[in-house]
Structure 1
Amino acid sequence: MFNKTHTKYIQSLHHKKFRDENGVFIAEGTKVVLELLDSREFVCLQLFAVNDWLNNNENALKKYSGIEVLEIKDFELLKISMLTTPKNVLAVFKKKTASTIKSIKKKITLLLDTIQDPGNLGTIIRTADWFGIENIVCSPACADMYNPKVVQSTMGSLARVNIFYTDLEEWLQKNNTVKRYAAALNGKNINSLKEIDEAIIVIGNEGKGISDDVMKLVDEKITIPKKGEAESLNAAVATGIILAVIS
Protein backbone atom coordinates (compact mmCIF):
# COMPACT_ATOMS: atom_id res chain seq x y z
CA MET A 1 0.00 0.00 0.00
CA PHE A 2 1.22 3.48 -0.90
CA ASN A 3 2.37 5.42 2.16
CA LYS A 4 4.37 8.43 3.40
CA THR A 5 7.65 6.55 2.99
CA HIS A 6 6.95 6.15 -0.72
CA THR A 7 6.09 9.83 -0.97
CA LYS A 8 9.34 10.97 0.66
CA TYR A 9 11.40 8.56 -1.41
CA ILE A 10 9.95 9.65 -4.76
CA GLN A 11 10.17 13.31 -3.82
CA SER A 12 13.86 12.84 -2.97
CA LEU A 13 14.47 11.52 -6.50
CA HIS A 14 13.56 14.92 -7.90
CA HIS A 15 17.10 15.85 -6.80
CA LYS A 16 20.32 14.63 -8.46
CA LYS A 17 22.05 13.87 -5.16
CA PHE A 18 19.50 11.24 -4.22
CA ARG A 19 19.20 9.84 -7.75
CA ASP A 20 22.96 9.31 -7.69
CA GLU A 21 22.92 7.79 -4.20
CA ASN A 22 20.17 5.33 -5.12
CA GLY A 23 21.20 4.71 -8.73
CA VAL A 24 17.66 5.30 -9.97
CA PHE A 25 15.50 7.88 -11.75
CA ILE A 26 11.81 8.55 -12.31
CA ALA A 27 9.74 8.69 -15.49
CA GLU A 28 6.15 9.88 -15.90
CA GLY A 29 3.36 9.41 -18.42
CA THR A 30 2.16 6.45 -20.44
CA LYS A 31 4.35 7.00 -23.52
CA VAL A 32 7.60 7.56 -21.63
CA VAL A 33 7.06 4.76 -19.11
CA LEU A 34 5.96 2.14 -21.67
CA GLU A 35 8.75 3.04 -24.10
CA LEU A 36 11.38 2.69 -21.39
CA LEU A 37 9.85 -0.63 -20.36
CA ASP A 38 9.74 -1.89 -23.95
CA SER A 39 13.34 -0.88 -24.60
CA ARG A 40 14.67 -3.29 -21.95
CA GLU A 41 17.51 -0.78 -21.50
CA PHE A 42 16.34 0.13 -18.02
CA VAL A 43 15.09 -2.10 -15.20
CA CYS A 44 11.84 -0.88 -13.67
CA LEU A 45 11.73 -1.29 -9.90
CA GLN A 46 8.44 0.35 -8.96
CA LEU A 47 5.39 1.61 -10.79
CA PHE A 48 2.77 3.89 -9.25
CA ALA A 49 -0.48 4.42 -11.16
CA VAL A 50 -4.13 5.30 -10.73
CA ASN A 51 -6.76 2.58 -11.02
CA ASP A 52 -7.93 3.44 -14.53
CA TRP A 53 -4.38 3.35 -15.89
CA LEU A 54 -3.70 -0.04 -14.32
CA ASN A 55 -6.89 -1.48 -15.78
CA ASN A 56 -6.17 -0.08 -19.25
CA ASN A 57 -2.58 -1.35 -19.26
CA GLU A 58 -3.02 -4.65 -17.43
CA ASN A 59 -2.00 -6.77 -20.44
CA ALA A 60 1.04 -4.60 -21.22
CA LEU A 61 2.35 -4.94 -17.66
CA LYS A 62 2.12 -8.74 -17.78
CA LYS A 63 5.16 -8.76 -20.09
CA TYR A 64 7.39 -7.48 -17.32
CA SER A 65 8.37 -9.26 -14.14
CA GLY A 66 9.89 -8.07 -10.90
CA ILE A 67 8.10 -4.72 -10.83
CA GLU A 68 6.44 -3.58 -7.63
CA VAL A 69 3.11 -2.14 -8.82
CA LEU A 70 1.17 0.11 -6.47
CA GLU A 71 -2.21 1.67 -7.06
CA ILE A 72 -2.44 5.27 -5.90
CA LYS A 73 -5.04 8.01 -5.78
CA ASP A 74 -4.93 11.17 -7.88
CA PHE A 75 -4.02 13.33 -4.88
CA GLU A 76 -1.16 10.95 -3.97
CA LEU A 77 0.22 11.10 -7.51
CA LEU A 78 0.10 14.88 -7.34
CA LYS A 79 2.40 14.79 -4.29
CA ILE A 80 5.13 12.81 -6.03
CA SER A 81 4.87 14.12 -9.59
CA MET A 82 7.18 16.75 -11.09
CA LEU A 83 4.42 17.74 -13.50
CA THR A 84 1.82 20.46 -12.97
CA THR A 85 -0.75 18.00 -14.32
CA PRO A 86 0.30 14.42 -13.44
CA LYS A 87 -0.12 11.81 -16.19
CA ASN A 88 -1.64 8.85 -14.29
CA VAL A 89 1.59 6.82 -13.97
CA LEU A 90 5.06 7.28 -12.49
CA ALA A 91 7.80 4.66 -12.51
CA VAL A 92 11.19 4.25 -10.84
CA PHE A 93 13.93 2.82 -13.09
CA LYS A 94 17.50 1.77 -12.40
CA LYS A 95 20.14 3.84 -14.16
CA LYS A 96 22.24 2.16 -16.82
CA THR A 97 25.91 1.45 -16.27
CA ALA A 98 27.91 4.53 -17.26
CA SER A 99 28.17 4.69 -21.04
CA THR A 100 31.26 4.59 -23.22
CA ILE A 101 31.62 5.24 -26.95
CA LYS A 102 33.22 2.46 -28.96
CA SER A 103 33.65 4.28 -32.26
CA ILE A 104 32.77 7.58 -33.91
CA LYS A 105 34.00 6.62 -37.39
CA LYS A 106 31.43 6.99 -40.19
CA LYS A 107 28.99 8.56 -37.74
CA ILE A 108 27.70 11.96 -36.71
CA THR A 109 28.44 12.57 -33.03
CA LEU A 110 27.00 15.43 -30.98
CA LEU A 111 29.19 17.12 -28.39
CA LEU A 112 27.40 19.38 -25.88
CA ASP A 113 29.36 22.05 -24.03
CA THR A 114 27.47 22.96 -20.84
CA ILE A 115 23.85 22.62 -21.98
CA GLN A 116 22.28 23.43 -18.64
CA ASP A 117 18.55 23.63 -19.37
CA PRO A 118 16.96 20.17 -18.83
CA GLY A 119 14.31 20.86 -21.45
CA ASN A 120 16.98 21.69 -24.03
CA LEU A 121 18.98 18.56 -23.25
CA GLY A 122 15.89 16.37 -23.45
CA THR A 123 14.87 17.90 -26.76
CA ILE A 124 18.38 17.44 -28.18
CA ILE A 125 18.33 13.76 -27.17
CA ARG A 126 14.94 13.30 -28.83
CA THR A 127 16.12 15.15 -31.94
CA ALA A 128 19.26 13.01 -32.10
CA ASP A 129 17.08 9.91 -31.96
CA TRP A 130 14.98 11.23 -34.86
CA PHE A 131 18.07 11.67 -37.04
CA GLY A 132 19.63 8.35 -36.02
CA ILE A 133 22.45 9.85 -33.97
CA GLU A 134 23.87 7.12 -31.75
CA ASN A 135 26.13 9.09 -29.41
CA ILE A 136 26.00 12.37 -27.49
CA VAL A 137 29.08 13.48 -25.55
CA CYS A 138 28.28 15.88 -22.68
CA SER A 139 30.51 18.03 -20.54
CA PRO A 140 30.20 17.35 -16.78
CA ALA A 141 28.43 20.71 -16.41
CA CYS A 142 25.58 19.67 -18.70
CA ALA A 143 22.18 18.94 -17.18
CA ASP A 144 21.77 15.46 -15.72
CA MET A 145 20.37 13.05 -18.31
CA TYR A 146 18.21 11.56 -15.51
CA ASN A 147 16.70 14.87 -14.44
CA PRO A 148 12.91 14.28 -14.57
CA LYS A 149 12.49 17.17 -17.02
CA VAL A 150 15.12 15.67 -19.32
CA VAL A 151 13.51 12.23 -19.13
CA GLN A 152 10.11 13.76 -19.88
CA SER A 153 11.40 15.80 -22.83
CA THR A 154 13.05 12.79 -24.48
CA MET A 155 9.69 10.99 -24.77
CA GLY A 156 11.44 7.62 -24.56
CA SER A 157 14.49 8.47 -26.70
CA LEU A 158 16.66 8.18 -23.59
CA ALA A 159 16.64 4.42 -24.22
CA ARG A 160 17.92 4.70 -27.79
CA VAL A 161 20.71 7.30 -27.59
CA ASN A 162 24.03 6.68 -25.86
CA ILE A 163 24.87 9.64 -23.59
CA PHE A 164 28.40 9.96 -22.25
CA TYR A 165 29.71 12.54 -19.73
CA THR A 166 33.39 13.42 -19.84
CA ASP A 167 35.97 16.21 -20.05
CA LEU A 168 35.43 17.63 -23.55
CA GLU A 169 38.95 18.90 -24.13
CA GLU A 170 40.50 15.56 -23.26
CA TRP A 171 37.94 13.68 -25.36
CA LEU A 172 38.44 15.92 -28.40
CA GLN A 173 42.21 15.53 -28.18
CA LYS A 174 41.84 11.76 -28.17
CA ASN A 175 39.34 11.78 -31.04
CA ASN A 176 41.16 14.00 -33.50
CA THR A 177 40.78 11.86 -36.62
CA VAL A 178 37.16 12.94 -37.21
CA LYS A 179 36.51 16.52 -38.36
CA ARG A 180 35.09 18.76 -35.64
CA TYR A 181 32.56 21.49 -36.40
CA ALA A 182 31.46 24.16 -33.93
CA ALA A 183 28.04 25.81 -34.16
CA ALA A 184 28.82 29.54 -34.01
CA LEU A 185 27.54 32.91 -35.19
CA ASN A 186 30.46 33.61 -37.51
CA GLY A 187 31.21 30.43 -39.39
CA LYS A 188 30.74 28.66 -42.71
CA ASN A 189 27.17 28.42 -44.03
CA ILE A 190 25.83 25.00 -43.01
CA ASN A 191 24.17 24.60 -46.41
CA SER A 192 27.61 23.84 -47.82
CA LEU A 193 27.89 20.78 -45.57
CA LYS A 194 25.07 18.62 -46.92
CA GLU A 195 25.21 14.84 -46.61
CA ILE A 196 28.14 14.51 -44.24
CA ASP A 197 28.45 10.97 -42.92
CA GLU A 198 31.23 11.56 -40.37
CA ALA A 199 31.66 14.53 -38.04
CA ILE A 200 31.65 15.82 -34.49
CA ILE A 201 29.16 18.66 -34.09
CA VAL A 202 29.80 20.90 -31.08
CA ILE A 203 26.85 22.78 -29.55
CA GLY A 204 27.52 25.41 -26.90
CA ASN A 205 25.92 26.72 -23.75
CA GLU A 206 22.57 28.52 -24.07
CA GLY A 207 24.01 31.90 -23.05
CA LYS A 208 27.78 31.76 -23.40
CA GLY A 209 28.15 29.49 -26.41
CA ILE A 210 31.17 27.22 -26.78
CA SER A 211 33.99 27.75 -24.30
CA ASP A 212 37.31 29.11 -25.58
CA ASP A 213 39.17 25.95 -24.55
CA VAL A 214 36.82 23.73 -26.54
CA MET A 215 36.68 26.13 -29.50
CA LYS A 216 40.46 25.93 -29.84
CA LEU A 217 40.11 22.22 -30.61
CA VAL A 218 37.55 22.42 -33.43
CA ASP A 219 38.48 22.37 -37.11
CA GLU A 220 35.80 24.65 -38.49
CA LYS A 221 32.99 26.94 -37.34
CA ILE A 222 29.56 26.55 -38.96
CA THR A 223 26.61 28.95 -38.97
CA ILE A 224 22.90 28.73 -39.68
CA PRO A 225 22.23 31.64 -42.06
CA LYS A 226 20.24 34.45 -40.46
CA LYS A 227 17.49 36.47 -42.19
CA GLY A 228 15.71 38.15 -39.28
CA GLU A 229 16.79 40.17 -36.28
CA ALA A 230 16.95 37.51 -33.54
CA GLU A 231 20.26 37.59 -31.68
CA SER A 232 20.64 33.81 -31.52
CA LEU A 233 18.84 30.47 -31.75
CA ASN A 234 17.82 28.14 -28.95
CA ALA A 235 20.47 25.41 -28.58
CA ALA A 236 18.01 22.57 -29.21
CA VAL A 237 16.49 24.33 -32.23
CA ALA A 238 19.95 24.98 -33.68
CA THR A 239 20.86 21.31 -33.21
CA GLY A 240 17.75 20.22 -35.09
CA ILE A 241 18.42 22.56 -38.01
CA ILE A 242 22.05 21.48 -38.32
CA LEU A 243 21.18 17.78 -38.26
CA ALA A 244 18.41 18.29 -40.81
CA VAL A 245 20.83 20.01 -43.20
CA ILE A 246 23.77 17.62 -42.92
CA SER A 247 21.78 14.37 -42.82
Structure 2
Amino acid sequence: MISKNQLKLIKALESKKQRKKNGLFIVQGEKNVSELFNSGFTIKQIFATASYINNNGTLLSQHNLVPLITEASEDELKKAGTLVSNNSVLAIVECQDFSVPEISENELILVLDQVGDPGNLGTILRVADWYGIKNVICSPDCADFYNPKVIAATMGSFARVNVSHTDLTEYLGKQAKPVYGAFLEGKNIHQTQLSSSAFIVMGSESHGISAEVGAFVSDKITIPNFGQAESLNVAMATGIILDNFKR
Protein backbone atom coordinates (compact mmCIF):
# COMPACT_ATOMS: atom_id res chain seq x y z
CA MET A 1 0.00 0.00 0.00
CA ILE A 2 1.22 3.50 -0.84
CA SER A 3 1.20 5.69 2.27
CA LYS A 4 -0.08 9.27 2.28
CA ASN A 5 3.46 10.64 2.60
CA GLN A 6 4.71 8.45 -0.24
CA LEU A 7 1.81 9.54 -2.44
CA LYS A 8 2.49 13.18 -1.58
CA LEU A 9 6.12 12.79 -2.63
CA ILE A 10 5.25 11.03 -5.90
CA LYS A 11 2.76 13.75 -6.85
CA ALA A 12 5.25 16.46 -5.86
CA LEU A 13 7.82 15.01 -8.27
CA GLU A 14 5.58 15.99 -11.18
CA SER A 15 6.88 19.52 -10.50
CA LYS A 16 10.30 20.59 -11.80
CA LYS A 17 10.85 22.65 -8.64
CA GLN A 18 10.23 19.64 -6.40
CA ARG A 19 12.35 17.33 -8.56
CA LYS A 20 15.23 19.74 -8.21
CA LYS A 21 14.65 20.21 -4.47
CA ASN A 22 14.50 16.47 -3.75
CA GLY A 23 16.96 15.31 -6.40
CA LEU A 24 14.43 12.67 -7.44
CA PHE A 25 12.20 11.80 -10.39
CA ILE A 26 9.64 9.12 -11.23
CA VAL A 27 9.81 6.36 -13.81
CA GLN A 28 6.62 4.53 -14.74
CA GLY A 29 5.66 1.40 -16.66
CA GLU A 30 7.36 -1.97 -17.08
CA LYS A 31 9.48 -1.00 -20.10
CA ASN A 32 10.96 2.16 -18.61
CA VAL A 33 11.50 0.70 -15.14
CA SER A 34 13.25 -2.35 -16.61
CA GLU A 35 15.77 -0.04 -18.32
CA LEU A 36 16.81 1.25 -14.91
CA PHE A 37 18.13 -2.12 -13.77
CA ASN A 38 21.26 -2.02 -15.93
CA SER A 39 21.71 1.76 -15.95
CA GLY A 40 23.74 4.12 -13.83
CA PHE A 41 20.65 5.44 -12.07
CA THR A 42 20.04 4.72 -8.37
CA ILE A 43 16.56 3.46 -7.53
CA LYS A 44 15.25 4.64 -4.15
CA GLN A 45 11.81 3.01 -4.05
CA ILE A 46 9.63 0.75 -6.20
CA PHE A 47 5.84 0.50 -6.01
CA ALA A 48 4.44 -2.47 -7.92
CA THR A 49 1.44 -4.76 -8.23
CA ALA A 50 1.58 -8.29 -6.86
CA SER A 51 1.46 -9.58 -10.44
CA TYR A 52 4.51 -7.53 -11.44
CA ILE A 53 6.44 -8.66 -8.37
CA ASN A 54 5.62 -12.32 -9.02
CA ASN A 55 6.52 -12.12 -12.71
CA ASN A 56 9.80 -10.30 -12.11
CA GLY A 57 10.90 -11.79 -8.79
CA THR A 58 14.12 -13.31 -10.10
CA LEU A 59 15.18 -10.12 -11.87
CA LEU A 60 14.42 -7.99 -8.82
CA SER A 61 16.42 -10.33 -6.61
CA GLN A 62 19.40 -10.31 -8.99
CA HIS A 63 19.58 -6.52 -8.74
CA ASN A 64 19.03 -6.49 -4.95
CA LEU A 65 15.83 -4.49 -5.33
CA VAL A 66 13.47 -6.60 -3.22
CA PRO A 67 14.01 -4.47 -0.04
CA LEU A 68 12.95 -1.37 -2.00
CA ILE A 69 9.58 -2.76 -3.11
CA THR A 70 6.20 -1.77 -1.75
CA GLU A 71 3.23 -3.74 -3.05
CA ALA A 72 0.40 -1.56 -4.37
CA SER A 73 -2.79 -2.04 -6.35
CA GLU A 74 -3.16 -0.92 -9.95
CA ASP A 75 -5.70 1.67 -8.82
CA GLU A 76 -3.19 3.11 -6.33
CA LEU A 77 -0.51 3.30 -9.01
CA LYS A 78 -2.91 4.93 -11.44
CA LYS A 79 -3.77 7.53 -8.82
CA ALA A 80 -0.11 8.12 -7.98
CA GLY A 81 1.33 8.29 -11.49
CA THR A 82 0.66 10.18 -14.69
CA LEU A 83 0.04 7.29 -17.10
CA VAL A 84 -3.45 6.35 -18.28
CA SER A 85 -2.41 2.73 -18.70
CA ASN A 86 0.58 0.45 -17.99
CA ASN A 87 0.28 1.07 -14.25
CA SER A 88 1.94 -2.06 -12.88
CA VAL A 89 5.10 -0.43 -11.51
CA LEU A 90 6.46 2.99 -10.56
CA ALA A 91 9.95 3.82 -9.31
CA ILE A 92 11.40 6.81 -7.46
CA VAL A 93 14.92 7.41 -8.77
CA GLU A 94 17.83 9.73 -8.00
CA CYS A 95 18.52 12.43 -10.59
CA GLN A 96 21.95 12.51 -12.20
CA ASP A 97 23.91 15.62 -13.13
CA PHE A 98 25.44 15.00 -16.54
CA SER A 99 28.46 17.17 -17.28
CA VAL A 100 28.57 19.02 -20.58
CA PRO A 101 30.56 16.72 -22.87
CA GLU A 102 33.66 17.23 -24.95
CA ILE A 103 33.08 15.97 -28.48
CA SER A 104 35.04 12.87 -29.52
CA GLU A 105 36.35 11.93 -32.95
CA ASN A 106 33.60 10.54 -35.17
CA GLU A 107 30.93 11.64 -32.71
CA LEU A 108 27.71 13.47 -33.46
CA ILE A 109 26.25 15.56 -30.62
CA LEU A 110 22.65 16.69 -30.84
CA VAL A 111 21.94 20.24 -29.65
CA LEU A 112 18.35 21.31 -28.91
CA ASP A 113 17.34 24.96 -28.78
CA GLN A 114 14.02 25.86 -27.12
CA VAL A 115 12.37 22.44 -27.59
CA GLY A 116 9.77 22.99 -24.89
CA ASP A 117 7.29 20.20 -25.54
CA PRO A 118 8.02 17.21 -23.25
CA GLY A 119 6.62 14.69 -25.73
CA ASN A 120 8.84 16.02 -28.50
CA LEU A 121 11.94 15.98 -26.30
CA GLY A 122 11.25 12.41 -25.19
CA THR A 123 10.74 11.25 -28.77
CA ILE A 124 13.93 13.01 -29.88
CA LEU A 125 15.88 11.16 -27.19
CA ARG A 126 14.38 7.88 -28.41
CA VAL A 127 15.42 8.74 -31.98
CA ALA A 128 18.89 9.76 -30.78
CA ASP A 129 19.26 6.40 -29.03
CA TRP A 130 18.23 4.59 -32.24
CA TYR A 131 21.01 6.33 -34.15
CA GLY A 132 23.62 5.81 -31.45
CA ILE A 133 23.78 9.42 -30.25
CA LYS A 134 25.13 9.34 -26.70
CA ASN A 135 25.06 13.06 -25.84
CA VAL A 136 22.22 15.55 -26.21
CA ILE A 137 22.65 19.15 -25.06
CA CYS A 138 19.61 21.30 -24.34
CA SER A 139 19.17 25.02 -23.88
CA PRO A 140 17.93 26.02 -20.39
CA ASP A 141 14.45 26.70 -21.81
CA CYS A 142 14.01 23.20 -23.22
CA ALA A 143 11.65 20.84 -21.43
CA ASP A 144 13.16 19.31 -18.28
CA PHE A 145 14.77 15.93 -18.97
CA TYR A 146 13.20 14.52 -15.77
CA ASN A 147 9.65 15.59 -16.64
CA PRO A 148 7.48 12.41 -16.39
CA LYS A 149 6.16 13.02 -19.93
CA VAL A 150 9.73 13.17 -21.29
CA ILE A 151 10.73 9.96 -19.52
CA ALA A 152 7.60 8.15 -20.73
CA ALA A 153 8.09 9.27 -24.34
CA THR A 154 11.68 7.97 -24.46
CA MET A 155 10.45 4.36 -24.08
CA GLY A 156 13.54 3.53 -22.05
CA SER A 157 16.10 5.51 -24.04
CA PHE A 158 16.51 7.98 -21.16
CA ALA A 159 18.78 5.37 -19.56
CA ARG A 160 21.24 5.39 -22.48
CA VAL A 161 21.42 9.03 -23.59
CA ASN A 162 23.25 11.66 -21.52
CA VAL A 163 21.25 14.90 -21.40
CA SER A 164 22.65 18.18 -20.10
CA HIS A 165 21.20 21.70 -20.02
CA THR A 166 23.53 24.65 -20.60
CA ASP A 167 23.91 28.02 -22.30
CA LEU A 168 24.27 27.03 -25.95
CA THR A 169 26.03 30.20 -27.10
CA GLU A 170 28.72 29.73 -24.48
CA TYR A 171 29.07 26.03 -25.30
CA LEU A 172 29.08 26.30 -29.11
CA GLY A 173 31.37 29.32 -28.98
CA LYS A 174 34.17 27.06 -27.69
CA GLN A 175 33.85 24.39 -30.41
CA ALA A 176 36.11 23.81 -33.41
CA LYS A 177 34.00 21.08 -35.06
CA PRO A 178 31.33 21.93 -37.66
CA VAL A 179 27.97 23.08 -36.33
CA TYR A 180 25.03 22.13 -38.55
CA GLY A 181 21.66 23.77 -38.04
CA ALA A 182 18.22 23.03 -39.47
CA PHE A 183 16.84 26.05 -41.32
CA LEU A 184 14.12 26.36 -43.96
CA GLU A 185 16.55 28.39 -46.09
CA GLY A 186 19.40 25.94 -45.54
CA LYS A 187 21.19 23.85 -48.17
CA ASN A 188 19.51 20.64 -49.31
CA ILE A 189 20.86 17.98 -46.94
CA HIS A 190 20.86 15.45 -49.81
CA GLN A 191 23.42 17.60 -51.60
CA THR A 192 25.59 18.47 -48.59
CA GLN A 193 28.87 16.88 -47.61
CA LEU A 194 28.24 15.88 -44.02
CA SER A 195 30.96 15.48 -41.39
CA SER A 196 31.20 12.36 -39.22
CA SER A 197 32.11 14.51 -36.22
CA ALA A 198 29.86 17.51 -35.67
CA PHE A 199 27.13 19.24 -33.72
CA ILE A 200 23.57 19.15 -35.07
CA VAL A 201 21.31 21.95 -33.84
CA MET A 202 17.52 21.61 -33.91
CA GLY A 203 15.15 24.42 -32.92
CA SER A 204 11.57 24.51 -31.74
CA GLU A 205 8.76 24.01 -34.25
CA SER A 206 7.27 27.44 -33.58
CA HIS A 207 10.44 29.56 -33.48
CA GLY A 208 13.19 27.47 -35.06
CA ILE A 209 16.78 28.09 -33.99
CA SER A 210 17.19 31.37 -32.14
CA ALA A 211 19.29 34.13 -33.69
CA GLU A 212 21.76 33.93 -30.79
CA VAL A 213 22.40 30.22 -31.32
CA GLY A 214 22.13 30.49 -35.10
CA ALA A 215 25.15 32.80 -35.08
CA PHE A 216 27.32 29.80 -34.24
CA VAL A 217 25.94 27.57 -37.02
CA SER A 218 28.59 27.01 -39.68
CA ASP A 219 26.43 24.94 -42.05
CA LYS A 220 22.72 25.60 -42.57
CA ILE A 221 20.85 22.54 -43.84
CA THR A 222 17.25 21.73 -44.73
CA ILE A 223 15.17 18.69 -45.58
CA PRO A 224 13.78 19.10 -49.13
CA ASN A 225 10.01 18.78 -49.44
CA PHE A 226 8.30 16.98 -52.30
CA GLY A 227 4.69 17.66 -51.27
CA GLN A 228 2.50 20.38 -49.79
CA ALA A 229 3.02 20.03 -46.01
CA GLU A 230 4.13 23.30 -44.42
CA SER A 231 6.44 21.80 -41.83
CA LEU A 232 7.68 18.70 -40.01
CA ASN A 233 7.42 17.79 -36.36
CA VAL A 234 10.83 18.51 -34.78
CA ALA A 235 11.27 14.91 -33.63
CA MET A 236 10.49 13.62 -37.13
CA ALA A 237 12.88 16.15 -38.68
CA THR A 238 15.60 15.11 -36.22
CA GLY A 239 15.22 11.48 -37.29
CA ILE A 240 15.48 12.34 -40.99
CA ILE A 241 18.57 14.50 -40.45
CA LEU A 242 20.31 11.89 -38.28
CA ASP A 243 19.57 9.25 -40.90
CA ASN A 244 21.31 11.33 -43.54
CA PHE A 245 24.35 11.83 -41.30
CA LYS A 246 24.57 8.13 -40.53
CA ARG A 247 24.32 7.17 -44.20
TM-score, shorter chain, exceeding 0.5: yes
In 2, Cα distance between equivalents of 1:194 and 1:172 = 21
Q: Any idea what the Cα deviations from partners look like across 1:142-161, whole Å, max 9, x if unmatched?
A: 00111011111111211211
CA contact (8 A) 2:100 2:166 kept: no
Distance 1:31 1:238 in 2: 25
**CA deviation profile, 1:216-240 (whole Å, cap 9, x unmatched):** 1111210100111111111100000
User: Structure 1: how far apart are the matches of 2:198 and 2:143?
Assistant: 23
Most deviating of 21-30 and 85-94: 85-94
1:1-247 equivalent positions in 2, closer than 5 A: 1-39=1-39, 41-65=40-64, 67-175=67-175, 177-193=176-192, 196-247=195-246
Structure 2 CA distance, aligned partners of 1:217 and 1:238?
A: 20
Q: Supply the distance in 2 between the matched residues of 1:77 and 1:179 (Cα, whole angstroms).
A: 47
SS of the aligned residue for 2:9 comes to: helix
Tell me the CA shift for residue 118 of structure 1. 0.6
Consecutive unaligned residues of structure 1, counting only runs of 5 or more, are: none
Aligned residues of 2:103 and 2:109 also touching (Cα < 8 A): no
How many Å apart are 1:78 and its aligned residue?
1.4
Question: What's the offset of the Cα at 1:62?
Answer: 0.4
Contact 1:23–1:95, Cα closer than 8 Å, also in 2: yes
Rounded to whole Å, the distance in 2 between the matches of 1:195 and 1:12 is 45
8 Å contact 1:193–1:245 — kept in the other structure?
no
How far apart are 1:214 and its partner, in Å? 0.9
Q: What amino acid is aligned across from residue 22 of structure 2 in structure 1?
A: N
Query: What is the RMSD computed on CA atoms of the aligned residues?
Result: 1.4
- Secondary structure of the residue aligned to 1:202 is strand
Shift of 1:102: 3.0
Hey, what's the Cα distance between the residues in 1 that align with 2:98 and 2:162?
Answer: 10
The aligned amino acid for 1:225 is P
Q: Measure, in 2, the Cα distance between the counterparts of 1:89 and 1:42.
A: 17
Relative to the length of structure 2, the TM-score reads 0.95
CA contact under 8 A between 1:182 and 1:201: conserved in structure 2? Answer: yes
Question: CA shift at 1:75, angstroms?
Answer: 1.6
Give the whole-Å Cα distance in 1 for the aligned partners of 2:195 and 2:109: 11
CA contact (8 A) 1:178 1:198 kept: yes
Distance change (3 Å), C-alpha of 1:102 and 1:215: closer
Deviation per CA, 1:34-82: give whole Å up to 9, x if none.
111222x100010001111111011110022365200001221111110
Conserved 8 A contact 2:113-2:203? yes
Q: Deviation above 3 Å: which 4+ runs of structure 1?
A: 193-196
Letter in 1 for 2:79: K
SS of corresponding position for 1:163: strand
Mapped partners of 1:27, 1:181: distance in 2:
33
- Partner amino acid for 1:239? T
Say whether the 8 Å CA contact 2:100–2:137 is kept in structure 1: no
> What SS does the aligned partner of 1:185 have?
strand
5+ long unaligned stretches in structure 2:
none
SS at match of 1:174: coil
Q: Identity of aligned pairs, percent?
A: 46
Quote the Cα distance in structure 2 between the aligned partners of 1:164 and 1:6. 28
CA distance in 1, matches of 2:194, 2:212: 28
The superposition leaves residues 9-45 of structure 1 with CA deviations (integer Å, 9 ceiling, x where unpaired) of: 1011111111111101111111110111222x10001
